[in-house]
């Protein structure tokens, strides 16, 4: 138990140092890109979302074309340059290293967090999707900076889920871990105010921004609902 507390304090200190290097809390409004959109659409969405005030961008590709993934990640990195908004790569450590991204987000079937941390180094942001209570209880002992609580509610973009956390699950997660919690899945205009009241640290969205006619305005509207 004493060793667990020491590990927890070390992880917490490293996390604070990484946030200081990024000069912001990046989790509030977290854009996850849509891998179904072509490169030009992706660039347009990210440019507009940054102009609207999004605080973090994750490039997600699920098609296995590493060269295309790197091209898209580099395009997004160019857009984010000078904005202070961190670039996170989904799943692929090699892509994160290739483009020198600000961080990496892992799923439960990806590389173990301990190994990913060794590869990306101590200064990068590392996130992990959490789908069960057991995974949640283990999170604080891992060398990660935040958790992605998945999925909050039912969503057509996430299938084969082990759990829908809901508001009670969010409350339990906040009581269980000291790590920042980013919620994803089924988030929309009707539930954002209550989610903000729950104390969750950030919300990750895909469709609400990527599929909006005006991504900049959509981002501004979302931030307004979040009290910004």
158 is in an annotated binding site: yes
Q: Which residues neighbour 129 within 8 Å (Cβ) at sequence distance 6 or greater?
A: 105, 106, 107, 108, 147, 148, 150
21 is catalytic: no
61 is in an annotated binding site: yes
**CB of 96 within 8 A of CB of 120?**
yes
Of the candidates 60, 141, 163, 171, the residue annotated as catalytic is 60
Of the candidates 77, 92, 124, 129, the residue annotated as catalytic is 129
95 is in an annotated binding site: no
129 is catalytic: yes
Of the candidates 72, 117, 124, 158, the residue annotated as catalytic is 158
175 is in an annotated binding site: no
Q: Nearest-CA neighbor of 149 among 218, 195, 103?
A: 195
127 is in an annotated binding site: no
60 is catalytic: yes
Euclidean distance between CA atoms 71 and 10, whole angstroms: 35
DSSP H or E run through 58: strand 56-59
59 is in an annotated binding site: yes
186 is in an annotated binding site: yes
157 is in an annotated binding site: yes
Task: State the DSSP code for 142.
Answer: S
Binding residue numbers for Mg(2+): 91, 110
Binding residue numbers: 58-62, 90-91, 110, 129, 155-158, 186, 206-207
Catalytic residue set: 60, 129, 158
């Amino acid at each position: 138990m004493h060793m667990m507390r020491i590990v927890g304090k070390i992880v917490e200190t490293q996390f604070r140092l990484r946030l200081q290097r990024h000069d912001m809390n990046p989790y509030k409004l977290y854009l996850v890109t849509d891998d179904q959109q072509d490169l030009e659409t992706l660039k347009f969405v990210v440019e507009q979302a940054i102009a609207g005030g999004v605080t973090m961008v994750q490039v997600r590709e699920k098609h296995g074309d590493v060269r295309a993934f790197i091209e898209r990640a580099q395009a997004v990195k160019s857009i984010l340059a000078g904005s202070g908004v961190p670039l996170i790569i989904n799943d692929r450590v090699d892509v994160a290293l290739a483009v020198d991204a600000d961080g990496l987000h892992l799923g439960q079937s990806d590389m173990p967090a301990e190994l990913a941390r060794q590869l990306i180094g101590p200064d990068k942001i590392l996130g992990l999707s959490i789908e069960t209570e057991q995974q949640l209880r283990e999170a604080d002992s891992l060398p990660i900076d935040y958790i992605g609580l998945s999925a909050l509610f039912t969503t057509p973009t996430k299938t084969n889920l082990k759990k829908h956390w809901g508001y009670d699950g969010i409350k339990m997660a906040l009581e269980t871990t000291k790590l920042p919690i980013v919620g994803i899945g089924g988030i929309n205009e009707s539930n954002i105010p209550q989610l903000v009241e729950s104390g969750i640290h950030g919300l990750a969205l895909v469709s609400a921004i990527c599929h909006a006619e005006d991504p900049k305005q959509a981002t501004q509207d979302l931030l307004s609902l979040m009290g910004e």
